[in-house]
Amino acid sequence: MRKLYLFLLLAFLILLVLPKVMSSYALGIFIMIFFYAYLGQSWNILTGYTGVISLGHSLYVGIGAYMTYLLTLTLGLPPWIGMWIGGICAGAVGLVIGFFGFRFGLKGVYFVLLTISFAEIGRLIVLHLKVFGSFQGLFITPHFSAVNFQFKDNVPYYYIALGYVVFSLIVVRLLERSKIGRYMVALREEEEAAESLGVDVFKYKMIAIFISAFMTSLAGAFYTNYLYYLHPSTMMSMAFSIEIILRPIIGGMGTVLGPVIGSFLITPLAEISRTYFAKAGYEGLHLVIYGFLLVAVVLFFPRGVISYMKKALSPLLSGEKSH
């Protein structure tokens, strides 16, 4: 375990100095790696740890993004404050979805359907309301300053995104070791047994969906202030929900490092292929590649790449308790 922490510390230090040696384009790719790792981690709390499958997490990103932006626009609240309010709103929406799902015992595909429905409702509302920019979307005029979460070049975004990832790693690691986290895993493994051993199924699933939705929406604030353009068909779409879940699935669900590893594997590929294929006029081709990749991972690493890495690296990390 200590070796693993040392390795992570080393990796962190390298990531800290990386902006000194990298081009802005490369930094942009790293920002997306961090961004998706963070989103994957947030989703991982609900699906990887608790076993409640959500395919509508783009909804929470949308809530975070629009809330942050609108609070800035109307009340002049800096995004740094607005994002937490957005988080609470997303958490509340998560609780509503959870209430319908868990109160009435929806499981498996039925709950998935519920999450998709809510996400679609959210997308359609945003798409048709003027305040959200309607069909044109919202273009945000940046006012560069640290308080506004808006910067001229990629370096600050790089560090902020890295901060997001570290924050999510700490949250999930603490959660994993807490009573809440243990109960969440018990629910994933065998709900009836957990229930008969004193686990309040409804309560702990509600806690899981709240934390997950809250954290997911914080990424919305980043999205807004990094891309300066909000449109529901990109960031509140089904496709975006799939983007969120791919990395933890590929890296390893229900593990702290799985989403990060998954993102380091997939995001560069996605970013580079997207740019390349779009230039060549094959927009969306990278999604086809995704499809094949996912099939390959499911076939060869059904528990995610991390379980394979653990085996391969176990001599290096010896002394670590296999989990």
Partner 1 sequence: MPLLELKKVSKNFGGLKAVSQVSFSLEKGEILGIIGPNGAGKTTLFNTLTGFYKPDEGEIWFEGEKLIDLKPHQICKKGMVRTFQIVKPFLELTTLDNVMIAALNRTKHIHEATEKALRTIEMVGLKDKAQTLATGLTLPHRKRLELARALATEPKLLLLDEVMAGLTPTEVDELIRLLKEINRQGITILLIEHVMRGVMALSQRVIVLNYGEKIAEGVPEEVVKNRQVIDAYLGEEFRNA
Q: How many residues does the chain have?
A: 323
Among residues 210, 216, 258, the alpha carbon closest in space to that of 67 is found at: 216
CB nearer to partner 1: pick between 74 and 196: 196
SS3 for the chain, per residue?
A: CHHHHHHHHHHHHHHHHHHHHCCHHHHHHHHHHHHHHHHHHHHHHHHHHCCCCCCCCHHHHHHHHHHHHHHHHHHCCCHHHHHHHHHHHHHHHHHHHHHHHHHCCCCCHHHHHHHHHHHHHHHHHHHHCHHHCHHHCEECCCCCECCCCECCCHHHHHHHHHHHHHHHHHHHHHHHHCHHHHHHHHHHHCHHHHHHCCCCHHHHHHHHHHHHHHHHHHHHHHHHHHHCEECHHHHCCHHHHHHHHHHHHHHCCCCCCHHHHHHHHHHHHHHHHHHHHHHCCCCCHHHHHHHHHHHHHHHHCCCCHHHHHHHHHCCCCCCCCCC
CB nearer to partner 1: pick between 188 and 231: 188
Provide, rounded to whole angstroms, the least separation between the CB of residue 188 and partner 1: 8
CB nearer to partner 1: pick between 76 and 192: 192
Provide, rounded to whole angstroms, the least separation between the CB of residue 176 and partner 1: 11
Residues in binding contact with partner 1, number by CB under 8 A: 21
- Which of 9, 24, 92, 190 is in the footprint of partner 1 by CB under 8 A? 190
Among residues 204, 216, 272, the alpha carbon closest in space to that of 248 is found at: 216
Provide, rounded to whole angstroms, the least separation between the CB of residue 37 and partner 1: 23
Q: By CB under 8 A, is residue 302 in contact with partner 1?
A: no
Under rule CB under 8 A, which residues in 82-121 are in contact with partner 1?
none
CB nearer to partner 1: pick between 52 and 199: 199
Q: By CB under 8 A, is residue 230 in contact with partner 1?
A: no
Place of tokens 């070049």: 153
Provide, rounded to whole angstroms, the least separation between the CB of residue 302 and partner 1: 13
- List the x/- string, 10-49, binding to partner 1 by CB under 8 A: ----------------------------------------
Q: By CB under 8 A, is residue 189 in contact with partner 1?
A: yes
CB nearer to partner 1: pick between 152 and 321: 321
Provide, rounded to whole angstroms, the least separation between the CB of residue 53 and partner 1: 17
Q: By CB under 8 A, is residue 196 in contact with partner 1?
A: yes
- List the x/- string, 251-290, binding to partner 1 by CB under 8 A: ---x------------------------------------
Q: By CB under 8 A, is residue 155 in contact with partner 1?
A: no
**Residue at 301: amino acid letter:** F
- List the x/- string, 166-185, binding to partner 1 by CB under 8 A: -----------xxx--xx-x
Binding site for partner 1 (CB under 8 A): 177-179, 182-183, 185-186, 189-190, 192-201, 254, 321
